[in-house]
Amino acid sequence: MQKVIKSNWVIGNWKSNPSSLTQAKNLAKEIKAIDFDKINGQIMLMPTNLHLTSVIDEMQNSKVLVGCQDVSFTSDTIGAYTGDCSAEQMQAIGAKWTLVGHSERRTYHQESEKQLIAKIENALKNGLGVVLCIGETLEHYEKNQTLNVLQKQLSILKEVQKLENNLDKLIIAYEPVWAIGTGKVPQVAEVENVHQNIHEYLLTINANLAKSPILYGGSVNADNVETFAKSDWIDGVLVGGASLVADKFASLAKTFFATKK
């Protein structure tokens, strides 16, 4: 199958790091100082909610976008939802995109399909782009159930209202749960097969939906990123641990975009 040309992305998910606001500002400053002007794609950082405003401020007048790691399931823009931030609040402080359904949220917060659909709708309604994370566990992988699991996770897109008006606001991030933070990575050929399958499945929902970039995530670093970047089926990488040290992240991002040229 001929691959559709899509935008390229390198996204840093800072998770619950670093430990202080000063460290977060310093990391943002160091990343801002890197010359990303000639890259042919998008770089985005996703800090904690606590550090979001400061990182957005640091990144003013830079090529680096800033997004958040989650939004509330509720369509209420304010209210009695302890610990939640609404998509409207995120948009109002300058976040551009949000992760939805990261495996750590699915695991530690038992996020249901209904909640994920609501989060995607709230994000899109408030102008935020959505990076929908999907991925199989080691057990699913070993039982050869990866494609079934991913199709089930993607099937929630059929329920998202008004998705057809927001098709440029969706990125799919394929992150095998067993590869996140473990140093283990699948073979590129395996990722390519999965991405092709995701593309074909999206086509069955909506032809335009299949234009969404499909990223790989899970133990990507400056040493292995070139292998992923070489594949036409991999439109970007979602990076956790290796996004927390500015020069390593810079080297990873530069290698990725240089390989994509």
Residues marked active site are found at 102, 175
Smallest distance from ligand PEP to CB 244, Å: 9
Size of the site for ligand PEP (CB under 6 A): 13
- Binding part of the chain for ligand PEP, among 20-28, 83-91, 187-195, 212-220 by CB under 6 A, reads 212-220
What 25-34 contacts at long range (C-beta under 8 Å, 24+ apart), as own/partner pairs, is 25/51, 25/54, 25/55, 25/58, 27/244, 27/246, 28/54, 28/55, 28/58, 28/59, 29/58, 30/246, 30/247, 31/64, 31/246, 31/249, 31/250, 32/58, 32/59, 32/62, 32/64, 34/246, 34/250
Smallest distance from ligand PEP to CB 91, Å: 22
Say whether residue 180 binds ligand PEP (CB under 6 A). Answer: yes
**Ramachandran angles phi, psi of 214, nearest 5°:** -120, 115
Smallest distance from ligand PEP to CB 139, Å: 18
In the stretch 91-130, what mask flags binding to ligand PEP with x, by CB under 6 A?
Answer: ----------------------------------------
CB distance 18 to 27 below 8 Å: yes
From the list 70, 105, 7, 43, the residue with the least C-alpha distance to 251 is: 43
Say whether residue 218 binds ligand PEP (CB under 6 A). Answer: yes
Say whether residue 171 binds ligand PEP (CB under 6 A). Answer: no
Say whether residue 219 binds ligand PEP (CB under 6 A). Answer: yes
Residues of this chain that bind ligand PEP (CB under 6 A): 13, 175, 180-181, 217-220, 238-242
